[in-house]
A and B are shown apart, each in its own frame.
Chain A
């Protein structure tokens, strides 16, 4: 890079650290800018030293104001090295010789002072002070010895050390830079300020002169602002022991510093002076107070004079803290910074040298510091400025924007220093910059009419339009006060930190993560959560930090019962608490203050603050969790990063985790491609378990093969046994030795199935595997689930919950069930059926028992046997399947209770194992462990089946016998003829039908008597019911009576001359008796018959009618042939 014509004097750049070792004294003094404020401080201290016993001071001033530099200068003035002292003295003299002398006298400098320089950090102050003192005094010490000392012991040691050097020096001065940090530490660790009071006491009690000078950014009590009012008061009291010296260099002094910093090559300086003086005039003219600074302002060029004036105020603002001092701006390489400007404009001298204008300064601030400013007290004004400039960019031209930026800077930072943007100043300023009067006037009137700037009479100046009337900053402060008591601030402190058990992962291949939680109260939900066993993919342990001391004990109590929480003791929650309360306040304002809704600027400011607070909470939480002391199961956890603790806990919680190094599947949420590989692998396990490498090709290497090799083959699941490749039930010794944990996992799976009371679902097995001590991940569950089931083939029955929501027995593992194992483990069931000797015997016996019933003899698989039984029952006639078993025909021939029970069970059975091994012994009330079970059961089973199968035959037989008895016939040709006759003669369709069907039955080799029965029962066979069957019996009898009646009256003998006669009466038992006879029609015409009739009439005429009937009936009875008696 070529040499620039303007350079930044680097020595001003860095802030001073008072304790830095080799200070080049000459150059320090050379670059040190002594100004009035600094001299005043020195004067105060020296006067006090001479005339009072005040020895303790605090120097309070903003960041970057040069406090430390002043401290260093003071130390040089008192230095024990006379040459150093002299150089410093000269510097002082150069400012004011009179004061320089009186300073020397007041301190009575002869040997010089011991200077202890201390920079505080967040450690115990008393110990750190003592160490710094030892270092300054060249005393050797042991850090740990000091650490072990109490605060008061430290102070005593400090005092005696100082006093020990009584003769070698004039006194000791203790410079405490960053004293605020020490105060912060005391505040956070909840110690009181007694230490600082004691320290102040020592300065007065000490036998040798002892001065303390501490550097602060804010007063003591400010550091205690998060404390309650009483504490704050106490801190203020301690502050009283220290004389507080304000250190706030004026704008002028800043100007001097800026001027000193800018190093201008002479010709350039001249060119600037010649060309840019005109720019200086409006400033000098309108800000009379700065007229005397003309010389200095010239020196600050090529900064625009207005920029130079604004830099001072800007550097005083809060946001300028943290090394962003004045010099930071001048020297840094940030975008839009002065440095960038110089590189662009001062590599070579131009005719009209450029000035770094306020618009660039605005851009610099906006680009680099926006986020900081928006959370500072300047946020409101700043955001208003941003809004105004945004609008000017939308509506106006370049010059509008420049003017707006200029006015904005003056509004925001100039106001307190009376740098008001009066209309005339702005006009003159821009005219001086070379714009026409007319143009700038128009610009201003535009800006005003667009409400970008506003004229305020009170100050006779233009200001950025205050879009917002709301002072968020104060509102927040008020709100914080209002909410800070009694609010549960932890509600906004949700820790999102997730901690990986990294070491555990590297060792086992299983990724586990822990969550973090800050809790303020223990409720049932929390306790429930602690008790719940996390599943794969859920956090296995939660690092919990109690927000209050009061719940700490209770939390530890819970932690003893739950292996899923670790409890931490935080260092300090103060910062978190105050930030959280601020966030709550901010959120409440956002919610409650209706006016903010309509005030975009205020809303934006509020949102920026909310963002900032949230961010800060996150950061603070991170550091709190990282810094806490952790305990697990009431024991310590290894220190170090949280992930170390997490790994330790994971190791303890899951000691039996099988090692599976496969990132594809050993995880709680396998990727899409991993899932497809898992599915392919499972299909291969289903189809090709008997093949080497499950039949994967040797040459290719698809992911499913990789999973197979790393998760199954190498882990002992799939082995070569004497019966070939398989998922063995018994693992080889080598496999067990190599995969101890995996074998335990397998055995646990077997046990879960074997010792369950009935069926277990795959989900049940998975839950066992996911819990401690295995902690298997979700990706591996289905693979091992299926492998387990494969290994138990023949000993277990499989079930699938189908769309009827019932578990249905599945004869063998199939693709659909494998899919369930993978995807819906709750719907895949398995049950252990160990076939004992008794049961084998049982099967053989049952097999034999049903052999004659359509089953293939020797078939002995449970399913086959059960199927045959089911088939026997299902192919029973419908009515037998539903009959209550009452007898209809014969008292003895009802369905037995056992047969009925067998039928009921079989009809609804869907599980062969349960049917054969459990239900059958239950039905027949047999002991399942009886060695003779097989024999006993097969006899009973056969009887019951016979009984069932015999029902229909018996019913038909019953109906037949009634028919034959009623008709007085046999199933022979005679009956056949009778049927034919009746079929012809019958008028009633019912009887005609009976005759026809019966005839048909007889003619067709006696087949399908059921058709005859249907007529009586009134329904087709499949609709027969107990009731209709019972009614059908009576109906059959009735029909037979009618059959015979028709026969009687329609005896169609070959001779048509014959007439039938029939008479029905009852016998002495009340049974119906039927009589019949025949006579020749011609008989009536015979004379002897006519005479006989008259005689009979005559002989019975004496009787009444009833007796006449009785007499004639009696005679007829003897004449006619009785028909066989009808049954009831």
Chain B
């Protein structure tokens, strides 16, 4: 078997790192798979009453799928901006942990640190960690390729989804009202690994629905974070 060809190798300057083809391919496929979800988000934003500009800005600036869906979900249901932001932030805490993990690897400063932070998401961190066997250089490439790839495609497909939803008009007539919760369900599904997680999920659904008529929109969702704390406080059974 031939050694993997090295693309992006720039002539004499041997300080330019070689691009690992397997890492690049993995980054690209992850970027496409995830970027496509942007359509669902674009449609969700419009369905919730956000403008095309606002929906696209969420993808450009907030850039974290679950948090973005949460903001449009909570505010679209009549929740306050504060409940929307709080839910998004609770979902975004994991990005802090990813940053902690990536900082020693990337060793970035200044503007590069800001860029690295902005593209620190599930996928860029996941692909970076997945390259561990190939060494730190491949891990860094995995992070940057995937982060930038998802960023570009996620934003492109958000715009596409937003334009599409805008053109469709009444969200219910096209089933967008069910597509949005189905999109959430698709996000949470892979996390339901065992009985423990499923119990938490079902308890959260029931609590949030039960509280909905009695407290302002958005709060029933935030309160389920308390369930996560209760469930996670002691070591797993």
Q: A and B from one assembly?
A: no
Residues of B whose CB lies within 8 Å of any CB of A are none
Residues of A whose CB lies within 8 Å of any CB of B are none
